[in-house]
């Protein structure tokens, strides 16, 4: 892939890249999609370069589709990372050496890059992690057990998680992270997992129902040990409306 990019580098914007923090929720864990390559002992966030004929947002959409197979998912730009030495030349040279690319041919890749950070919320069960060739492993990893990451990717991940927690007070979350039908306790556990703290059950129920984004279904959750709780779904039209106007409450 890198050889192909360098062979057609005139098609890509110099000095600009994208890094995506892709969140999923499964087994009461908030997970992040990470990549392990053979040219480094450390893990990395999915990312890529921006073509000169596409917007930065479209570039991020393409990265997400390529790594998860999904389209039309929640995606938000959250920060730009431009430290002067965020991609040291020693790291770039190591990658070029792995792919047996001469330094003179890889000068475009060795230059300084500013990266735009995006975070995405996806349905864990629908996303299919996609490696590029045989040189990668792509896995979901618990956000509480993120290993050492390359370059400034840990800073990017931390900022994405901080932004997600902050925006939980401003916009609804859950449509892309939960299955189509869910219970209120399952939705509360999602919020608690993101926030990293417990929430009062009655207070959560009152606040979440007051937003008006939930539809109570004439169904109950099956295969549970105790009294079966009601199932809910999101009112997509109302959900999209609240995303635009925002919330005015905290958790």
Domain ranges of the chain: 2-167, 184-245
pLDDT tens-digit readout, 53-112: 999 999 999 999 989 988 878 899 999 999 998 999 999 999 999 999 999 999 999 999
Work out the average pLDDT over 22-50: 93
The set of residues, in sequence order, having a beta carbon less than 8 Å from that of 217 and lying 6+ positions away, is: 181, 230, 231, 232, 233
Average pLDDT over residues 178-200: 93
Intrachain domains 2-167 and 184-245 with the same fold? no
Specify the pLDDT at position 246: 85
215's enclosing H/E stretch is strand 214-220
Contact 250, 234 (CB under 8 A): no
Average pLDDT, the chain: 91
Residue 220 has pLDDT above 90, yes or no: no
**Model pLDDT, residue 38:** 86
Bridge partners (DSSP) listed for residue 227: none
pLDDT at 131: 84
pLDDT (0 to 100) of residue 173 = 87
How many Cβ atoms sit within 10 Å of the Cβ of residue 112? 14
Tell me what pLDDT residue 43 has: 97
Q: Which of 22-36, 126-140, 234-248 has the highest mean pLDDT?
A: 22-36
- Rounded distance between C-alpha atoms, residue 127 and residue 211, angstroms: 28
169 pLDDT above the threshold of 90: no
d(CA 185, CA 201): 8
CATH number for the region 184-245 comes to 1.10.10.10
- CATH fold for the domain made of 2-167: Nucleoside Triphosphate Pyrophosphohydrolase (3.90.79)
């Amino acid at each position: 892939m890198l050889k192909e990019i360098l062979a057609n580098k005139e098609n890509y914007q110099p000095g600009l890249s994208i890094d995506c923090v892709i969140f999923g929720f499964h087994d009461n864990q908030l997970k992040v999609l990470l990549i392990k390559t053979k040219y480094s002992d450390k893990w990395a966030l999915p990312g890529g370069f921006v073509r000169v004929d596409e917007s930065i947002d479209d570039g991020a959409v393409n990265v997400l589709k390529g790594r998860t197979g999904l389209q039309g998912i929640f995606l938000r730009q959250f920060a730009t990372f431009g430290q002067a030495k965020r991609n040291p030349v020693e790291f770039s040279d190591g990658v070029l050496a792995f792919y047996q690319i001469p330094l003179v041919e890889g000068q475009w890749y060795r230059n300084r890059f500013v990266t735009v950070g995006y975070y995405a919320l996806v349905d864990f069960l629908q996303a299919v992690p996609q490696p590029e060739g045989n040189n990668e492993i792509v896995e979901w990893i618990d956000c509480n057990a993120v290993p050492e990451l390359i370059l400034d990717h840990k800073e990017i991940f931390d900022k994405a998680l901080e932004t997600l927690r902050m925006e939980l007070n401003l916009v609804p979350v859950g449509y892309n992270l939960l299955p189509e039908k869910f219970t209120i306790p399952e939705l509360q556990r999602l919020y608690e997992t993101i926030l990293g703290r417990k929430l009062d059950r009655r207070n959560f129920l009152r606040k979440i129902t007051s937003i008006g984004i939930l539809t109570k279904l004439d169904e109950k959750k099956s295969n549970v040990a105790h009294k079966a709780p009601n199932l809910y779904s999101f009112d997509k039209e109302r959900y999209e409306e609240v995303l635009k106007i925002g919330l005015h409450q905290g958790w």
